[in-house]
Amino acid sequence: MLPEKDPRKTGDKDSREDSSVTLFREYLRIKTVHPEPNYDAAVQFLERIAAELGLGCQKVEVCPSRVITVLTWQGTNPQLRSILLNSHTDVVPVFEEHWHHNPFVAFKDSEGNIYARGAQDMKCVSIQYIEAIRRLKATGKHFSRTVHMSFVPDEEIGGHKGMEMFVKRPEFKALNVGFALDEGLANPTDTFTVFYGEKCPWWIKVKAQGNPGHGSRFIENTAAEKLHRVITSLLAFREREKQRLKSEEHLTLGDVTSLNLTLLEGGVSFNVVPSEMTASFDIRIPPTVDLKAFEEQLTAWCQAAGEGVTYNFCQKYTDQTVTPIDESDPWWKVFSETCREMNMKLKCEIFPAATDSRYIRAAGHPAIGFSPMNRTPVLLHDHNEFLNEQVFLHGIEIYTRLIPALASVPSLPVEA
Protein backbone atom coordinates (compact mmCIF):
# COMPACT_ATOMS: atom_id res chain seq x y z
CA MET A 1 0.00 0.00 0.00
CA LEU A 2 1.41 3.37 -1.02
CA PRO A 3 1.20 6.31 1.41
CA GLU A 4 -1.45 8.82 0.47
CA LYS A 5 -1.76 12.47 1.31
CA ASP A 6 -4.25 13.38 3.97
CA PRO A 7 -6.79 15.93 2.65
CA ARG A 8 -6.90 17.58 6.08
CA LYS A 9 -3.23 18.49 5.79
CA THR A 10 -3.12 19.41 2.11
CA GLY A 11 -6.34 21.38 1.96
CA ASP A 12 -7.57 19.31 -0.99
CA LYS A 13 -11.32 19.50 -1.44
CA ASP A 14 -13.57 18.53 -4.32
CA SER A 15 -15.97 21.44 -4.76
CA ARG A 16 -18.32 19.12 -6.66
CA GLU A 17 -18.61 16.65 -3.81
CA ASP A 18 -21.86 16.50 -1.90
CA SER A 19 -21.38 18.03 1.56
CA SER A 20 -22.82 14.88 3.16
CA VAL A 21 -20.10 12.81 1.51
CA THR A 22 -17.47 15.28 2.68
CA LEU A 23 -18.73 14.94 6.26
CA PHE A 24 -18.74 11.15 5.95
CA ARG A 25 -15.13 11.14 4.80
CA GLU A 26 -14.15 13.48 7.62
CA TYR A 27 -15.68 11.08 10.16
CA LEU A 28 -13.90 8.12 8.58
CA ARG A 29 -10.55 9.85 9.10
CA ILE A 30 -11.01 9.90 12.87
CA LYS A 31 -8.97 6.89 14.01
CA THR A 32 -11.37 5.20 16.38
CA VAL A 33 -9.59 1.92 15.68
CA HIS A 34 -8.87 -0.72 18.29
CA PRO A 35 -6.86 -1.32 20.37
CA GLU A 36 -6.51 2.42 21.10
CA PRO A 37 -9.51 4.22 19.58
CA ASN A 38 -9.44 8.01 19.63
CA TYR A 39 -12.86 8.39 21.21
CA ASP A 40 -12.22 11.97 22.33
CA ALA A 41 -11.94 13.13 18.71
CA ALA A 42 -15.19 11.37 17.83
CA VAL A 43 -17.03 12.99 20.73
CA GLN A 44 -15.72 16.43 19.75
CA PHE A 45 -16.88 15.80 16.17
CA LEU A 46 -20.38 14.90 17.41
CA GLU A 47 -20.53 17.90 19.72
CA ARG A 48 -19.78 20.12 16.74
CA ILE A 49 -22.58 18.48 14.75
CA ALA A 50 -25.03 18.95 17.62
CA ALA A 51 -24.21 22.67 17.75
CA GLU A 52 -24.59 23.01 13.97
CA LEU A 53 -28.01 21.35 13.96
CA GLY A 54 -29.35 22.80 17.19
CA LEU A 55 -29.68 19.40 18.81
CA GLY A 56 -29.41 18.57 22.46
CA CYS A 57 -26.14 16.84 23.36
CA GLN A 58 -25.69 14.60 26.37
CA LYS A 59 -22.50 12.76 27.30
CA VAL A 60 -22.75 9.78 29.61
CA GLU A 61 -19.51 8.28 30.90
CA VAL A 62 -20.49 4.67 31.62
CA CYS A 63 -16.96 3.87 32.85
CA PRO A 64 -13.60 5.68 32.71
CA SER A 65 -12.82 6.95 29.18
CA ARG A 66 -15.97 5.33 27.73
CA VAL A 67 -18.54 7.98 26.82
CA ILE A 68 -21.96 7.53 25.20
CA THR A 69 -22.91 10.62 23.19
CA VAL A 70 -26.63 11.23 22.65
CA LEU A 71 -27.92 13.89 20.25
CA THR A 72 -31.60 14.70 20.72
CA TRP A 73 -34.25 16.23 18.48
CA GLN A 74 -37.14 17.00 20.80
CA GLY A 75 -40.59 15.93 19.68
CA THR A 76 -43.77 17.97 20.06
CA ASN A 77 -45.14 15.37 22.49
CA PRO A 78 -42.16 14.28 24.62
CA GLN A 79 -44.43 12.07 26.75
CA LEU A 80 -44.60 9.60 23.87
CA ARG A 81 -41.93 6.96 23.62
CA SER A 82 -38.96 8.00 21.54
CA ILE A 83 -37.13 6.73 18.49
CA LEU A 84 -33.52 5.69 19.08
CA LEU A 85 -31.06 5.71 16.18
CA ASN A 86 -28.01 3.86 17.45
CA SER A 87 -24.53 3.50 15.97
CA HIS A 88 -21.08 2.71 17.28
CA THR A 89 -18.02 4.90 16.85
CA ASP A 90 -15.29 2.25 17.05
CA VAL A 91 -13.84 0.22 14.17
CA VAL A 92 -11.82 -2.98 13.97
CA PRO A 93 -8.07 -3.13 13.28
CA VAL A 94 -6.61 -3.27 9.77
CA PHE A 95 -3.79 -5.11 8.04
CA GLU A 96 -2.56 -2.16 6.01
CA GLU A 97 -0.36 -4.29 3.73
CA HIS A 98 -3.55 -5.78 2.25
CA TRP A 99 -5.22 -2.44 1.52
CA HIS A 100 -4.97 -0.70 -1.85
CA HIS A 101 -5.43 2.69 -0.14
CA ASN A 102 -4.70 4.08 3.30
CA PRO A 103 -7.69 2.90 5.40
CA PHE A 104 -7.82 6.15 7.38
CA VAL A 105 -7.64 8.68 4.55
CA ALA A 106 -11.08 7.84 3.05
CA PHE A 107 -9.76 7.68 -0.52
CA LYS A 108 -12.46 8.05 -3.17
CA ASP A 109 -11.81 6.52 -6.60
CA SER A 110 -13.14 7.62 -9.99
CA GLU A 111 -16.25 5.47 -9.53
CA GLY A 112 -17.15 7.10 -6.24
CA ASN A 113 -16.09 4.16 -4.06
CA ILE A 114 -14.87 5.41 -0.68
CA TYR A 115 -12.26 3.13 0.88
CA ALA A 116 -11.86 3.28 4.65
CA ARG A 117 -12.17 1.21 7.77
CA GLY A 118 -15.70 1.87 8.99
CA ALA A 119 -17.09 2.74 5.55
CA GLN A 120 -19.67 -0.03 5.97
CA ASP A 121 -19.30 -0.84 9.66
CA MET A 122 -20.76 1.55 10.58
CA LYS A 123 -19.76 5.18 10.24
CA CYS A 124 -21.88 5.44 7.11
CA VAL A 125 -25.07 4.89 9.12
CA SER A 126 -24.01 7.44 11.76
CA ILE A 127 -23.66 10.15 9.14
CA GLN A 128 -26.80 9.04 7.30
CA TYR A 129 -28.78 9.58 10.51
CA ILE A 130 -27.21 13.00 10.99
CA GLU A 131 -27.68 14.16 7.41
CA ALA A 132 -31.27 12.92 7.25
CA ILE A 133 -32.08 14.94 10.35
CA ARG A 134 -30.21 17.93 8.90
CA ARG A 135 -32.44 17.81 5.82
CA LEU A 136 -35.62 17.33 7.84
CA LYS A 137 -34.82 20.23 10.17
CA ALA A 138 -34.04 22.44 7.19
CA THR A 139 -37.64 22.02 6.00
CA GLY A 140 -38.96 23.24 9.35
CA LYS A 141 -40.75 19.98 10.07
CA HIS A 142 -41.55 18.71 13.55
CA PHE A 143 -42.77 15.31 14.71
CA SER A 144 -44.60 14.14 17.77
CA ARG A 145 -41.98 11.67 18.99
CA THR A 146 -38.52 12.65 20.16
CA VAL A 147 -35.63 11.27 18.11
CA HIS A 148 -32.38 10.35 19.84
CA MET A 149 -29.12 9.46 18.10
CA SER A 150 -26.78 7.46 20.33
CA PHE A 151 -23.11 7.00 19.46
CA VAL A 152 -21.50 4.30 21.55
CA PRO A 153 -17.97 2.94 22.10
CA ASP A 154 -16.56 -0.58 22.17
CA GLU A 155 -19.24 -2.38 20.14
CA GLU A 156 -16.53 -4.16 18.18
CA ILE A 157 -15.18 -5.76 21.35
CA GLY A 158 -18.54 -6.81 22.77
CA GLY A 159 -20.09 -3.57 23.98
CA HIS A 160 -19.35 -4.50 27.60
CA LYS A 161 -18.09 -0.98 28.35
CA GLY A 162 -20.62 0.62 26.04
CA MET A 163 -24.24 -0.26 25.32
CA GLU A 164 -24.37 -3.16 27.77
CA MET A 165 -23.70 -0.72 30.62
CA PHE A 166 -25.70 2.15 29.14
CA VAL A 167 -29.04 0.30 29.03
CA LYS A 168 -28.79 -0.19 32.81
CA ARG A 169 -28.25 3.52 33.50
CA PRO A 170 -30.94 6.04 34.51
CA GLU A 171 -29.85 8.22 31.58
CA PHE A 172 -30.92 5.48 29.17
CA LYS A 173 -34.22 4.93 30.92
CA ALA A 174 -34.85 8.68 30.68
CA LEU A 175 -34.67 8.41 26.88
CA ASN A 176 -38.01 6.57 27.08
CA VAL A 177 -37.24 4.46 24.02
CA GLY A 178 -40.12 2.99 22.06
CA PHE A 179 -38.31 1.66 19.00
CA ALA A 180 -34.68 1.50 17.91
CA LEU A 181 -32.72 1.20 14.70
CA ASP A 182 -29.15 -0.12 14.71
CA GLU A 183 -26.66 -1.56 12.24
CA GLY A 184 -27.26 -4.28 9.68
CA LEU A 185 -25.25 -5.56 6.74
CA ALA A 186 -24.73 -4.71 3.10
CA ASN A 187 -26.49 -6.80 0.47
CA PRO A 188 -24.93 -7.43 -2.97
CA THR A 189 -28.37 -7.68 -4.63
CA ASP A 190 -31.17 -5.13 -5.04
CA THR A 191 -32.63 -6.33 -1.73
CA PHE A 192 -32.14 -4.65 1.65
CA THR A 193 -31.51 -6.98 4.59
CA VAL A 194 -33.33 -6.35 7.86
CA PHE A 195 -32.38 -8.10 11.10
CA TYR A 196 -34.97 -8.71 13.81
CA GLY A 197 -32.89 -10.85 16.17
CA GLU A 198 -29.39 -12.12 16.82
CA LYS A 199 -27.51 -15.24 17.71
CA CYS A 200 -26.24 -15.76 21.23
CA PRO A 201 -22.42 -15.67 21.25
CA TRP A 202 -20.86 -18.38 23.40
CA TRP A 203 -17.09 -18.44 23.73
CA ILE A 204 -15.87 -21.56 25.48
CA LYS A 205 -12.44 -22.81 26.47
CA VAL A 206 -12.10 -26.59 26.74
CA LYS A 207 -9.33 -27.84 29.01
CA ALA A 208 -8.02 -31.40 28.79
CA GLN A 209 -5.75 -32.85 31.47
CA GLY A 210 -3.73 -36.02 30.88
CA ASN A 211 -0.59 -37.94 31.65
CA PRO A 212 2.72 -36.18 30.93
CA GLY A 213 5.95 -37.84 29.86
CA HIS A 214 8.84 -38.00 27.44
CA GLY A 215 8.12 -37.14 23.83
CA SER A 216 9.68 -40.42 22.63
CA ARG A 217 7.15 -42.71 24.36
CA PHE A 218 3.54 -43.77 23.73
CA ILE A 219 2.03 -42.19 26.83
CA GLU A 220 -1.52 -43.33 27.61
CA ASN A 221 -4.42 -40.92 28.17
CA THR A 222 -2.63 -37.77 27.10
CA ALA A 223 -4.21 -34.34 27.15
CA ALA A 224 -3.77 -34.12 23.38
CA GLU A 225 -5.72 -37.35 22.77
CA LYS A 226 -8.60 -36.21 24.93
CA LEU A 227 -8.66 -32.76 23.40
CA HIS A 228 -8.63 -34.33 19.95
CA ARG A 229 -11.83 -36.23 20.79
CA VAL A 230 -13.59 -33.04 21.89
CA ILE A 231 -12.41 -31.15 18.81
CA THR A 232 -13.60 -34.00 16.58
CA SER A 233 -17.06 -33.94 18.19
CA LEU A 234 -17.45 -30.18 17.89
CA LEU A 235 -16.15 -29.96 14.33
CA ALA A 236 -18.42 -32.85 13.29
CA PHE A 237 -21.34 -30.79 14.63
CA ARG A 238 -19.99 -27.80 12.72
CA GLU A 239 -20.00 -29.82 9.49
CA ARG A 240 -23.59 -30.95 10.07
CA GLU A 241 -24.74 -27.36 10.52
CA LYS A 242 -22.75 -26.29 7.46
CA GLN A 243 -24.38 -28.99 5.33
CA ARG A 244 -27.83 -28.12 6.69
CA LEU A 245 -27.30 -24.52 5.61
CA LYS A 246 -26.30 -25.68 2.14
CA SER A 247 -29.08 -28.23 1.67
CA GLU A 248 -32.06 -26.30 3.04
CA GLU A 249 -32.59 -23.35 0.69
CA HIS A 250 -34.79 -21.34 3.04
CA LEU A 251 -32.07 -21.14 5.70
CA THR A 252 -29.67 -18.24 6.14
CA LEU A 253 -26.49 -18.07 8.19
CA GLY A 254 -28.54 -16.63 11.04
CA ASP A 255 -30.68 -19.79 11.21
CA VAL A 256 -27.92 -22.27 11.98
CA THR A 257 -25.36 -22.58 14.76
CA SER A 258 -21.90 -21.55 13.64
CA LEU A 259 -18.89 -22.97 15.42
CA ASN A 260 -15.20 -22.37 14.90
CA LEU A 261 -12.03 -23.51 16.63
CA THR A 262 -10.13 -20.26 17.17
CA LEU A 263 -7.32 -20.99 19.66
CA LEU A 264 -5.12 -23.97 20.57
CA GLU A 265 -2.81 -23.70 23.56
CA GLY A 266 -0.49 -25.99 25.50
CA GLY A 267 2.90 -27.61 25.69
CA VAL A 268 6.29 -26.55 27.01
CA SER A 269 8.82 -28.30 24.74
CA PHE A 270 9.16 -30.50 21.66
CA ASN A 271 10.18 -33.49 23.74
CA VAL A 272 7.70 -33.19 26.60
CA VAL A 273 4.15 -34.56 26.47
CA PRO A 274 2.11 -31.84 28.22
CA SER A 275 -0.19 -32.51 31.14
CA GLU A 276 -2.70 -29.91 29.97
CA MET A 277 -3.93 -28.46 26.66
CA THR A 278 -6.80 -26.14 25.79
CA ALA A 279 -8.95 -25.35 22.77
CA SER A 280 -11.16 -22.28 22.41
CA PHE A 281 -14.33 -22.12 20.32
CA ASP A 282 -16.48 -19.27 19.03
CA ILE A 283 -20.08 -20.51 18.90
CA ARG A 284 -23.05 -18.42 17.69
CA ILE A 285 -26.47 -19.90 18.50
CA PRO A 286 -29.73 -18.79 16.83
CA PRO A 287 -32.80 -17.93 18.96
CA THR A 288 -34.58 -21.08 17.76
CA VAL A 289 -32.14 -23.36 19.62
CA ASP A 290 -32.82 -24.66 23.14
CA LEU A 291 -29.81 -23.30 25.02
CA LYS A 292 -30.16 -25.70 27.93
CA ALA A 293 -30.17 -28.70 25.61
CA PHE A 294 -27.20 -27.32 23.68
CA GLU A 295 -25.15 -26.90 26.84
CA GLU A 296 -26.03 -30.45 27.89
CA GLN A 297 -24.63 -31.61 24.54
CA LEU A 298 -21.40 -29.69 25.17
CA THR A 299 -21.09 -31.39 28.55
CA ALA A 300 -21.69 -34.81 27.01
CA TRP A 301 -18.99 -34.29 24.37
CA CYS A 302 -16.47 -33.38 27.09
CA GLN A 303 -17.45 -36.33 29.28
CA ALA A 304 -17.13 -38.72 26.33
CA ALA A 305 -13.58 -37.49 25.69
CA GLY A 306 -12.33 -38.87 28.99
CA GLU A 307 -11.62 -37.96 32.58
CA GLY A 308 -10.21 -34.52 33.25
CA VAL A 309 -11.93 -32.73 30.34
CA THR A 310 -13.82 -29.59 31.35
CA TYR A 311 -14.92 -26.30 29.81
CA ASN A 312 -15.62 -22.79 30.99
CA PHE A 313 -17.31 -19.81 29.41
CA CYS A 314 -15.40 -16.71 28.41
CA GLN A 315 -18.68 -15.28 27.09
CA LYS A 316 -22.18 -16.67 27.49
CA TYR A 317 -25.07 -14.58 26.21
CA THR A 318 -28.47 -16.16 26.77
CA ASP A 319 -31.14 -13.55 25.95
CA GLN A 320 -33.02 -14.77 22.87
CA THR A 321 -35.44 -11.85 22.51
CA VAL A 322 -36.50 -11.05 18.95
CA THR A 323 -38.37 -8.04 17.56
CA PRO A 324 -41.84 -8.69 16.08
CA ILE A 325 -41.99 -8.44 12.28
CA ASP A 326 -45.69 -8.99 11.66
CA GLU A 327 -48.15 -6.35 10.49
CA SER A 328 -49.92 -6.36 13.85
CA ASP A 329 -46.89 -4.67 15.40
CA PRO A 330 -47.25 -0.88 14.96
CA TRP A 331 -43.51 -0.21 14.68
CA TRP A 332 -42.85 -2.91 12.10
CA LYS A 333 -45.99 -1.95 10.18
CA VAL A 334 -44.78 1.62 9.74
CA PHE A 335 -41.19 0.59 8.97
CA SER A 336 -42.16 -1.99 6.35
CA GLU A 337 -44.90 0.13 4.77
CA THR A 338 -42.52 3.08 4.40
CA CYS A 339 -39.97 0.82 2.73
CA ARG A 340 -42.60 -0.53 0.35
CA GLU A 341 -43.59 3.03 -0.57
CA MET A 342 -39.96 3.52 -1.64
CA ASN A 343 -40.10 0.28 -3.69
CA MET A 344 -37.56 -1.34 -1.39
CA LYS A 345 -37.49 -5.11 -1.28
CA LEU A 346 -36.77 -6.35 2.25
CA LYS A 347 -35.37 -9.67 3.44
CA CYS A 348 -35.78 -10.39 7.14
CA GLU A 349 -33.12 -12.45 8.87
CA ILE A 350 -31.46 -13.29 12.18
CA PHE A 351 -28.16 -11.43 12.39
CA PRO A 352 -25.34 -14.00 12.04
CA ALA A 353 -22.99 -12.31 14.51
CA ALA A 354 -23.72 -9.86 17.34
CA THR A 355 -24.44 -6.13 17.62
CA ASP A 356 -25.53 -3.74 20.35
CA SER A 357 -29.14 -4.41 19.34
CA ARG A 358 -29.11 -7.44 21.62
CA TYR A 359 -28.72 -5.22 24.68
CA ILE A 360 -31.51 -2.91 23.52
CA ARG A 361 -33.87 -5.85 22.97
CA ALA A 362 -32.89 -7.43 26.30
CA ALA A 363 -33.83 -4.13 27.98
CA GLY A 364 -37.34 -4.52 26.57
CA HIS A 365 -37.23 -2.34 23.47
CA PRO A 366 -37.90 -3.54 19.90
CA ALA A 367 -34.89 -3.00 17.65
CA ILE A 368 -34.22 -3.55 13.96
CA GLY A 369 -30.77 -3.93 12.43
CA PHE A 370 -30.72 -2.03 9.16
CA SER A 371 -27.92 -0.51 7.09
CA PRO A 372 -29.29 0.80 3.77
CA MET A 373 -26.55 -0.63 1.55
CA ASN A 374 -27.85 -2.73 -1.33
CA ARG A 375 -25.86 -3.53 -4.49
CA THR A 376 -22.82 -3.60 -2.22
CA PRO A 377 -20.51 -6.50 -1.32
CA VAL A 378 -20.37 -7.39 2.36
CA LEU A 379 -16.95 -6.11 3.48
CA LEU A 380 -17.26 -5.41 7.19
CA HIS A 381 -13.99 -6.32 8.94
CA ASP A 382 -12.49 -7.16 5.53
CA HIS A 383 -9.56 -5.67 3.65
CA ASN A 384 -10.41 -2.77 1.31
CA GLU A 385 -13.75 -2.04 2.94
CA PHE A 386 -15.61 0.52 0.82
CA LEU A 387 -18.97 2.11 0.15
CA ASN A 388 -20.03 3.89 -3.01
CA GLU A 389 -21.02 7.51 -2.48
CA GLN A 390 -24.28 7.09 -4.42
CA VAL A 391 -25.32 4.17 -2.21
CA PHE A 392 -24.41 6.29 0.80
CA LEU A 393 -26.48 9.24 -0.45
CA HIS A 394 -29.44 7.00 -1.24
CA GLY A 395 -29.29 5.79 2.36
CA ILE A 396 -29.78 9.37 3.56
CA GLU A 397 -32.88 9.64 1.37
CA ILE A 398 -34.21 6.42 2.91
CA TYR A 399 -33.77 7.75 6.42
CA THR A 400 -35.45 11.04 5.51
CA ARG A 401 -38.56 8.92 4.90
CA LEU A 402 -38.16 6.41 7.72
CA ILE A 403 -37.42 8.86 10.54
CA PRO A 404 -40.57 11.00 10.03
CA ALA A 405 -42.72 7.89 9.64
CA LEU A 406 -41.46 6.34 12.86
CA ALA A 407 -41.49 9.63 14.75
CA SER A 408 -45.13 10.11 13.74
CA VAL A 409 -46.47 6.74 14.91
CA PRO A 410 -49.73 7.59 16.74
CA SER A 411 -50.00 7.18 20.47
CA LEU A 412 -50.05 3.50 21.40
CA PRO A 413 -52.30 1.87 24.03
CA VAL A 414 -49.32 1.49 26.40
CA GLU A 415 -48.76 5.27 26.16
CA ALA A 416 -52.31 6.25 26.98
Q: Which residues are annotated as a binding site for Zn(2+)?
A: 88, 121, 156, 183, 381
What CA dihedral angle connects 154, 160, 162 and 166, to 10 degrees? 170
Q: Strand (E) positions, 317-358? A: 346-351
CA distance 335 to 345: 12
**255 is a catalytic site residue:** no
**Under a CB-based contact definition with an 8 Å cutoff, are residues 370 and 303 in contact?**
no
- State the maximum Cα–Cα separation within the chain, in Å, rounded to a whole number: 82
298 φ/ψ angles, rounded to the nearest 5 degrees: -60, -45
220: helix, coil or strand? Answer: coil
Question: From the candidates 154, 155, 164, 255, which is the catalytic residue?
Answer: 155
**341 is a catalytic site residue:** no
- Lateral strand order in the sheet of 177-182: 56-63, 66-73, 147-152, 82-88, 177-182, 367-369, 192-198, 346-351
**Under a CB-based contact definition with an 8 Å cutoff, are residues 91 and 34 in contact?**
yes
Element (H, E) at 88: strand 82-88
Question: From the candidates 6, 18, 26, 90, which is the catalytic residue?
Answer: 90
Residue 409: DSSP 8-state: P
The single-letter code of the amino acid at 338 is T
CA distance 371 to 384: 19
CA distance 264 to 278: 6
279: helix, coil or strand? Answer: strand
Active site residues: 90, 155
